[in-house]
Structures are given as structure tokens and as C-alpha cells.
């Protein structure tokens, strides 16, 4: 009769648990490729599309980069599924000063291309409509 030591049985059980843990499927929403959500954001004075230089890059998943309000901006984009135009407008009172600014964003959100350009009467209206997304890029 063969006797198996307690150490051998424990080692076998640990190996089996490790193999089972590695074989368990990941949740489908828990995996997102790195660098999948990146936007180049620019804001310029006037009604013409702003020049690309001098903008701010916003990375999400996780929020990072030079954007001062990256966490807030990424959360707002997440709630709007990456569609800047769908970010809910803030209930603020803006002065009726005509100082137009044009916001432009291009890049990707969850692998989908993003292209957004809109002119606002002033920076207050820009912030009211786009939240924190263009906060670091505003002139």
C-alpha cells in the first residue's frame, strides 16, 4: 500500500486551485485595452476651428495625463458614452458677453473615433455645456 505525505496532497491542492483560478473567465466589462480612450482637446477664440498646437490630451481608463480635471472629465464622458454633445448641461447663469470660443476634440473613446467641434458664445457657456472636458484647454 502506498502512503502519500500530507505535503504532497497540499501541494496538489494548491496547484489545482491555481489552475482553476487561471481558467476562470474574466467579466466581459472588466477588460479594456490600454490607451483605448484618448482625446486631444483644443479651444480657440473666435468661430474658427482652433489650431491643433497648444491643446491638452485627456486619457481615460484610468484618468491621467496633463488634463487638470481628468477624473471628472472621464466620469462625465463615461456617463455620456464618450459623446461630448450628450453631456448634460449644467444649470448655471452665464453673462451675456459675446466672446465666442470654439472647442474641438478628436481621438478615440473605447476604440470608437471621436470628432467634435462646436462654437459657444463664451467660456462660461462652454463649461456649462461640456463640463470638465475642456476645462484644461480653455483660453
The x, y and z cell numbers of residue 42, run together, are 483644443
User: Tens digit of pLDDT for each residue in 4-57?
Assistant: 666 665 665 545 544 445 454 444 444 444 457 999 999 999 887 766 567 899
Statement: the pTM of the whole predicted model exceeds 0.85: no
Q: Which of 34, 26, 104, 85 is nearest to 63 (CA)?
A: 34
Show me where the domains of the chain are located: 29-130
User: Tens digit of pLDDT for each residue in 81-113?
Assistant: 999 999 999 999 999 999 999 999 999 999 899
Class (C level, CATH) for 29-130: alpha beta
β-bridge partners, 107: 39, 114
Contact by Cβ (8 Å): 69, 137: no
Amino acid at each position: 500500500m502506498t502512503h502519500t505525505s500530507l505535503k504532497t496532497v497540499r501541494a496538489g491542492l494548491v496547484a489545482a486551485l491555481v489552475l482553476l483560478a487561471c481558467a476562470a473567465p474574466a467579466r466581459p466589462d472588466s477588460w479594456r485595452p490600454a490607451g483605448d480612450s484618448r482625446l486631444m482637446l483644443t479651444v480657440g477664440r473666435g468661430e474658427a476651428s482652433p489650431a491643433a498646437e497648444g491643446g491638452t490630451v485627456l486619457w481615460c481608463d484610468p484618468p491621467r495625463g496633463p488634463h487638470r480635471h481628468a477624473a471628472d472629465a472621464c466620469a462625465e464622458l463615461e456617463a455620456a458614452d464618450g459623446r461630448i454633445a450628450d453631456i448634460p448641461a449644467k444649470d448655471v447663469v452665464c453673462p451675456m458677453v459675446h466672446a465666442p470660443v470654439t472647442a474641438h476634440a478628436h481621438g478615440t473613446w473605447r476604440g470608437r473615433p471621436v470628432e467634435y467641434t462646436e462654437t459657444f458664445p463664451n467660456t462660461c457657456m462652454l463649461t456649462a455645456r461640456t463640463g470638465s472636458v475642456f476645462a484644461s484647454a480653455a483660453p
